[in-house]
Amino acid sequence: MSDEEIAHINKARNGDRGSFAFLVKKYQHMAYNLAFRIVCDEDDTKDIVQDSFIKIWKNMKRYNPKVKFSTWIYTIVTNTAIDFLRSTKKRVMTRIDNMEESLTGNNMESELDNRELGDLIKMASNGLTTKQRLVFILRDLQGLKSEEVSEILKLSATSIKSNLYHTRNNIREKIQHLIG
C-alpha cells in the first residue's frame, strides 16, 4: 500500500469525503468484479457495490489498519452480496441462467466479456455448495491468497484448502466431460 493510499485512508477515517472518493475510484472495479462473479447480474451488482461503499463509508472509523484495506473491502462486498442473495432468496444458478436477459451494457465488448464470464461461472460452479463457490471465486477468479480468503469468509485454512480441492476436482471433471 502506498503512502498516498494510507494518507487517504486516514483522512477518510476522519470524514474526508475527497479522500474517500479517491478510495472508491481505486477499489470500485475490484468490488464490481467480485460482486458480479457472485450474483451474475449487472443491475444487482451495481446495487451491491453501492451498498458496500455506503457500508464502508459508515464504518471507516472502525477500520483496523492492521488489516489489509483491500481484504476489508472484499469482506464487506462478499457479505453484502451474500446478504443480497439470502434476502431475495434467489438461487445463484437461476441468476446465471437468466444472465443474458439482464445484460444491459452499452459497450458491446464489455457485454461480451460479461457473457463469457457468466458462461465460465455457470459451467464451473454448477453443483458447487455456496461455500465452495465463494472460495472458488475469491481464490481462483479474484486471485486472492488463501489467507485472505480465510479472513474474508471466516473459515480455517484447512476448510479453504478442502473446499478448493473439491471445487477444482468438480471443475476438472466437468471440463473433461465437455472435451469428450
pLDDT tens by residue, 10-68: 999 999 999 999 999 999 999 999 999 888 888 899 999 999 999 999 999 999 999 99
Helix, strand, coil percentages for the chain (3-state, nearest 5): 80, 0, 20
The backbone torsions φ and ψ at residue 143, rounded to the nearest 5 degrees and listed phi first, read 75, 25
For residue range 78-119, list pLDDT tens digits in order: 999 988 887 765 444 444 444 444 444 445 455 556 666 556
Please give the domain boundaries of the chain with CATH numbers for all domains. 3-179 (1.10.1740.10)
Report the amino acid identity of residue 80. Answer: T
In contact, 105 and 42? CB cutoff 8 Å: yes
What is the total residue count of the chain? 180
pTM score, whole prediction: 0.70
Higher-pLDDT residue of 163, 107 = 163
pLDDT of residue 1: 78
For residue range 130-160, list pLDDT tens digits in order: 888 888 888 888 888 999 999 999 999 999 9
pLDDT of residue 116: 63
pLDDT of residue 110: 57
- DSSP codes, 72-139: HHHHHHHHHHHHHHHHHT--HHHHHHTHHHH---S-HHHHHHHHHHHHHHHHHHTT--HHHHHHHIII
From the list 38, 29, 48, 42, the residue with the least C-alpha distance to 141 is: 38
pLDDT of residue 140: 83
The backbone torsions φ and ψ at residue 16, rounded to the nearest 5 degrees and listed phi first, read -75, 110
pLDDT of residue 92: 41
pLDDT of residue 69: 94
pLDDT of residue 111: 54
* In the block, residue with C-alpha cell 453443483: 127
